[in-house]
């Protein structure tokens, strides 16, 4: 068994190797009761910090021919890209690969085979083409070609609406750990969310930020889409919130700092998240927050949107009214999140939709006295009825309540 120290040194080597090879009614929220994932062992937590499954390979990535069943995934800003594929040659393997310790990825429960027999159907036609998603055929940033057989499957991490999530390890060196998320195509089609899923994948694939869950690659077979996601070693933030009821001021402040940093990055890429809530947040191996769900995100350069979406408790007044909305919806949600971290429930939570709507529209905010004046000040500045009055993200990051708890080693201050 490798010691923590030796694993840490190997991790450092891994990080270098990965850098060198980068080619690559009410939506009821019963307070803090979501089913969570299991915990992982320390060594795997350590290793996965630097997991980046675009491993060195001498294999030439086979281009998909234009009559292939695989369609090209237009990447952000590349919609309608040419269908011609260039052969992509992966970099040669490094001469000195770090030797991997044996990482316990836990026991596989046979769930993929079970699901394969019991759920999902093959899909055909236009919808099938929409969902023929494979990162190895992205023109400007292809990853290597992946298949399910390239992984050792470990313990189940959780179940999502469209399939299971597993902790897996690549069979090839260096043996990266990732979370493999399966999505059943026929179920996506039945729920009529092909475009939403495609959009989620397109958006997440292009994001690189320490507080945004990385999507390293994706591939598909006849029935399923597989997403290779950064493994969030400490699981769901929601589970922590359920366990503790609420967070301390220090912990809340650090999470909100990380959220503000990630949202600022998203907005700079013209991505509005639109569904910020504890259920969509994961924790990395160091306990860092990771935005992990992009189902409602929209890539909207200069666009104002009118779709009503998101969880009711986190909806801003402009979305309830069906008005145009913009990136400020995420500022409102950040205010709701700050409140929920500190108080343990959402600020406008009521028994019926109607009552919640009314309280949101009136900004009927009641902050308990145990919340510090600094934290209350930030909440009030974020929960402004008029979107333009909400405190901008760079100012959130400089707010006294955030500065007070930011450690020197944490994120650098925004410019």
Binding of residue 402 to ligand AMP (CB under 6 A): no
Residues 269-298 that bind ligand AMP (CB under 6 A): 282, 292-293
Binding of residue 165 to ligand AMP (CB under 6 A): yes
* Minimal distance, residue 412 CB to ligand AMP, in Å: 25
Contact between residue 43 and residue 4 where contact means Cβ atoms under 8 Å apart: yes
* Minimal distance, residue 385 CB to ligand AMP, in Å: 32
Q: How far apart are CA 20 and CA 38, in angstroms?
A: 33
| Closest residue to ligand AMP using C-beta atoms | 160
Binding of residue 160 to ligand AMP (CB under 6 A): yes
Residue 354, H or E segment: helix 353-362
Binds ligand AMP (CB under 6 A): choice among 106, 158, 287, 392: 158
* Binding track, positions 25-44, relative to ligand AMP; x by CB under 6 A: -----------xx-------
195 is in an annotated binding site: no
Stretch that binds ligand AMP, among 79-87, 154-162, 201-209, 396-404 (CB under 6 A): 154-162
Binding of residue 75 to ligand AMP (CB under 6 A): no
3-state secondary structure the chain: CCCHHHHHHHHHHHHHHHHHCCCCCCCCCCCCCCCCCCCCCHHHHHHHCCCCCCCCCCCEECCCCCCCCCCCCCCCCCCCCCCCCCCEECCCCCCCCCCCCCCCCCCCCCHHHHHHHHCCCCCCHHHHHHCCCCHHHCCCCCCCCCCHHHEEEEEEEEECCCCEEEEEEECCCCCCEEEEEEEEHHHHHHCCCHHHHHHHHHHHHCCCECCECCEEEEEECCCEEEEEECCCCCEEHHHHHHHHCCCCHHHHHHHHHHHHHHHHHHHHCCEECCCCCHHHEEECCCCCEEECCCCCCEECCCCCECCCCCCHHHCCHHHHCCCCECCHHHHHHHHHHHHHHHHCCCCCCCCCHHHHHHHHHHCCCCCCCCCCHHHHHHHHHHCCCCHHHCCCHHHHCCCHHHHHHCCCCCCCCCC
* Minimal distance, residue 165 CB to ligand AMP, in Å: 4
88 is in an annotated binding site: no
User: Considering CB under 6 A, how many residues would be counted as binding ligand AMP?
Assistant: 19
Contact between residue 229 and residue 273 where contact means Cβ atoms under 8 Å apart: no
* Minimal distance, residue 275 CB to ligand AMP, in Å: 12
Stretch that binds ligand AMP, among 19-27, 60-68, 71-79, 151-159 (CB under 6 A): 151-159
Residues 287-346 that bind ligand AMP (CB under 6 A): 292-293
Closest CB to ligand AMP among residues 24, 232? 232
Closest CB to ligand AMP among residues 88, 166? 166
231 is in an annotated binding site: yes
Binding of residue 229 to ligand AMP (CB under 6 A): yes
Binding of residue 241 to ligand AMP (CB under 6 A): no
* Minimal distance, residue 100 CB to ligand AMP, in Å: 20
Closest CB to ligand AMP among residues 202, 293? 293
Active site positions, annotated: 275
Residues 169-188 that bind ligand AMP (CB under 6 A): 179, 181
Interface with ligand AMP (CB under 6 A): 36-37, 157-160, 165, 179, 181, 213, 229-232, 235-236, 282, 292-293
Question: Which residues fall in the annotated binding site for ATP?
Answer: 161, 181, 230-232, 279-280, 293
Question: Which residues fall in the annotated binding site?
Answer: 161, 181, 230-232, 279-280, 293
């Amino acid at each position: 068994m490798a010691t923590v120290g030796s694993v840490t040194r190997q991790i450092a080597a891994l990080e270098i190797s990965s850098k060198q090879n980068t080619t690559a009614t009410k939506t009821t929220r019963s307070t803090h009761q979501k089913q969570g994932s299991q915990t992982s062992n320390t060594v795997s937590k350590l290793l996965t910090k630097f997991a980046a499954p675009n491993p060195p390979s001498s294999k030439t990535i086979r281009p998909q021919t234009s009559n292939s069943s695989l369609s090209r995934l237009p990447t952000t800003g590349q919609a309608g890209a040419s269908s011609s594929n260039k052969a992509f040659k992966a970099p040669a393997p490094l001469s000195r690969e770090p030797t991997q310790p044996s990482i316990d990825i836990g026991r596989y429960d046979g769930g993929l085979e079970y699901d394969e027999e019991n759920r999902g159907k093959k899909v055909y036609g236009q919808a099938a083409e929409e969902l023929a998603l494979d990162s190895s055929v992205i023109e400007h940033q292809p990853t290597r070609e992946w298949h399910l057989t390239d992984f050792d499957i470990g313990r189940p991490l959780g179940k999502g609406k469209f399939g299971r999530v597993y902790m897996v390890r690549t069979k090839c060196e260096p043996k990266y750990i990732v979370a493999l998320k399966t999505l059943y195509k026929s179920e996506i089609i039945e729920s009529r969310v092909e475009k939403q899923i495609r959009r989620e994948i397109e958006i997440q694939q292009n994001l690189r930020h320490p507080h945004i869950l990385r999507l390293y690659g994706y591939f598909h077979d006849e029935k399923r889409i597989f997403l290779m996601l950064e493994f969030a070693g400490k699981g769901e933030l929601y589970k922590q919130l359920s366990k503790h009821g609420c967070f301390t001021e220090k912990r809340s402040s650090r999470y909100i700092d990380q959220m503000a940093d990630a949202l600022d990055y998203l907005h700079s890429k013209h991505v509005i998240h639109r569904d910020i809530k504890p259920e969509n947040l994961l924790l990395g191996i160091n306990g860092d927050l990771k935005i992990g769900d992009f189902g409602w995100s929209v890539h909207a350069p200069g666009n104002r949107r009118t779709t009503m979406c998101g969880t009711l408790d986190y909806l801003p007044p402009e979305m309830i009214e069906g008005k145009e909305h913009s990136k400020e919806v995420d500022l409102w949600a950040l205010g709701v999140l700050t409140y929920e971290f500190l108080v343990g429930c959402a600020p406008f939570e009521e028994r019926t939709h109607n009552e919640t709507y009314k309280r949101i529209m009136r900004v009927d905010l009641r902050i308990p006295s145990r919340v510090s004046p600094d934290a209350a000040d930030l909440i009030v500045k974020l929960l402004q009825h008029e979107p333009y009055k909400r405190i901008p993200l760079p100012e959130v990051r400089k707010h006294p309540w955030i500065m007070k708890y930011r450690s020197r080693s944490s994120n650098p201050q925004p410019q």
